[in-house]
Chains A and B, each alone.
Chain A
Amino acid sequence: NAGVIQTPRHKVTGKGQEATLWCEPISGHSAVFWYRQTIVQGLEFLTYFRNQAPIDDSGMPKERFSAQMPNQSHSTLKIQSTQPQDSAVYLCASSLGVPGTGGYEQYFGPGTRLTVL
Chain B
Amino acid sequence: GDSVIQMQGQVTLSENDFLFINCTYSTTGYPTLFWYVQYSGEGPQLLLQVTTANNKGSSRGFEATYDKGTTSFHLQKTSVQEIDSAVYYCAMRDQGNAYKVIFGKGTHLHVLP
Contact = CB atoms under 8 A, between A and B. Distances in A.
Interface residues of B, number: 19
Interface of B is mostly: loop
Interface stretch (A11-19, A62-70, A72-80, A105-113): A105-113
A1 interface: no
A117 interface: no
A104 to B, nearest CB: 5
A42 interface: yes
A93 B42 CA distance: 12
A99 B102 CA distance: 18
B45 A48 contact: no
A56 B97 contact: yes
Nearest to A55: B99
B44 to A, nearest CB: 5
Contacts of B99: 31, 48, 50, 55, 95, 97, 104
B43 A42 contact: no
A35 to B, nearest CB: 8
Contacts, number: 45
Contacts of B106: 42-43
A41 B105 contact: yes
Contact of A42 (B42, B46, B89, B97): B89
A3 to B, nearest CB: 9
Given A56-B97, A56-B100, A104-B99, 7 more contacts: A42-B89, A43-B44, A43-B103, A48-B100, A99-B98, A106-B46, A109-B43
Interface of B: 41-46, 49, 89, 93, 97-106
11 contacts: A42-B89, A42-B104, A43-B44, A43-B89, A43-B103, A91-B44, A106-B46, A108-B43, A109-B43, A110-B42, A110-B43
